[in-house]
Structure 1
Amino acid sequence: MSRFFWVRHGPTHAKTMVGWSDLPADLSDTAALDRLHAALPSDALMISSDLSRAVTTADAVTRGRDRLPHDPDLREMHFGAWELQRFDQIEDQAHIRAFWETPGDIRPPGGESWHDVVARVDRAVARLLAAHPGRDIVAVAHFGVILTQLQQGLRVGTYDVFGHKIDNLSLTDLTHGADGWQVGRINHRP
């Protein structure tokens, strides 16, 4: 049995679609970081996306845990031409509405579909499970990345999983065993 503790990075304060843009995290809430550190297993392995907002958040809560190399497969969804734009700034409103309302194979221009992100994150998780069987793993990542795994654990459709809130510096834990994924806490704020 392996446990994954998914941590969403610290806030960027951006009011746009932020995927692969490397915006920094605001880590000024040191009390929240201390509580998050205390809520994580002390012997867990730490990994993060390679984007700085995830890397610096992981650095802030690692504190003696063994650190694995940053993994680009744990990046947020790539929004392509929509990157750093607000929903209402997108010229093709029919396209962006379809992207959010019927998630699956629809891609932003030059970006990824939901199914693309799921496949990428699933590969990363499978590698971690194979390389570190039975270990607790803390993965500092992004909203969309966490939702991909929550969707598997809850066994729900994409539209349904999009209804879940995943706050910055929150914790979502899933356990992988013989029966697949089991969901523990979702969006827990220690």
Structure 2
Amino acid sequence: MEVYLVRHTETVCEKGICYGQADVGLSEPFLHQFEIIKNQIPEDAVIYSSPLQRCTVLADYLSGANYQTDSRLMEMSFGDWEMKKWDAIPPEEINPWMNDFVNVKVPNGESFTELYARVIDFTEIVLQSDKTKPIVLITHAGVIRSVLCKISDLPLNDAFQNKVDFGQVIKIIMI
């Protein structure tokens, strides 16, 4: 089975802003990037998207609203840090997380382990449901890194070895 992991295109947030589950828009123009993405995925694919608008705008473009959203495809919840500048987060809050982002939970958010668990829960259900058509997941870097860790048996603390650019399409073959 073919699975396509698609990261949304660049957002309106300036660099250095923490915006995990904040529902931010896309930086324009994006239609040219959407067309490049469209040319990399099969027309008959089953499409799933994060419900955040930076993903659903792309899903609408690719499928004409013929897709499903699932909250398990949302980016990591950064809780109290959402929409703050990374360098404005107090050291006593961010340092423990930076030292162990896998297990340390963001205040009123989640840890990478929690993100990973919900992503793998989603993928295990969806990938077992229909093996006849390609599947496209329109989502976020943290979600894509989680899937790549799972399929390559990469420890979660090495997740950032998987570089995931805005608008990138990663094709994987599941056996």
- Structure 2 distance, partners of 1:148, 1:22, is 21
Q: Secondary structure at the match of 1:129?
A: helix
In the TM superposition, 1:1-190 aligns within 5 A as 2-14=1-13, 15=15, 16-62=17-63, 67-91=66-90, 93-177=91-175
How many percent identity over aligned positions? 27
TM-aligned CA deviation for residue 68 of structure 1: 3.1
8 A contact 2:78–2:110 mirrored in 1 = yes
Task: In structure 1, give the amino acid aligned to 2:170.
Answer: T
Task: In structure 1, give the amino acid aligned to 2:51.
Answer: D
TM-aligned CA deviation for residue 100 of structure 1: 3.0
- Structure 1 distance, partners of 2:98, 2:165, is 19
After superposition, the Cα gap between the structure-2 partners of 1:55 and 1:26, relative to the gap in structure 1 and judged at 3 Å, is: same
TM-aligned CA deviation for residue 94 of structure 1: 4.3
8 A contact 1:8–1:142 mirrored in 2 = yes
TM-aligned CA deviation for residue 27 of structure 1: 4.8
8 A contact 1:47–1:67 mirrored in 2 = no
Q: Secondary structure at the match of 1:60?
A: helix
8 A contact 2:6–2:167 mirrored in 1 = yes
8 A contact 1:54–1:140 mirrored in 2 = yes
- Structure 1 distance, partners of 2:174, 2:132, is 9
8 A contact 1:104–1:115 mirrored in 2 = yes
1:76-115, CA deviations, whole angstroms, 9 ceiling, x for partnerless residues? Answer: 0000001111221111x24423323322220111001001
- Structure 2 distance, partners of 1:142, 1:10, is 9
> Could you list the runs of 5+ residues in structure 2 that have no partner in the other structure?
none
Q: Secondary structure at the match of 2:103?
A: coil
Higher relative contact order (CA 8 A, sep 6+): 2
TM-aligned CA deviation for residue 62 of structure 1: 2.4
TM-aligned CA deviation for residue 169 of structure 1: 0.9
- Structure 2 distance, partners of 1:128, 1:153, is 15
> Could you list the runs of 5+ residues in structure 1 that have no partner in the other structure?
178-190
- Structure 2 distance, partners of 1:4, 1:18, is 26
Q: Runs (4+) of structure 1 moved beyond 3 Å?
A: none
Q: Secondary structure at the match of 2:94?
A: helix
What is the root-mean-square deviation in Å for CA atoms of aligned residues?
A: 1.7
TM-score by length of 1: 0.83
Provide the aligned length of Structure 1 versus Structure 2: 173
* 1:187 alignment counterpart: none
TM-aligned CA deviation for residue 44 of structure 1: 0.8
8 A contact 2:5–2:171 mirrored in 1 = yes
TM-score by length of 2: 0.90
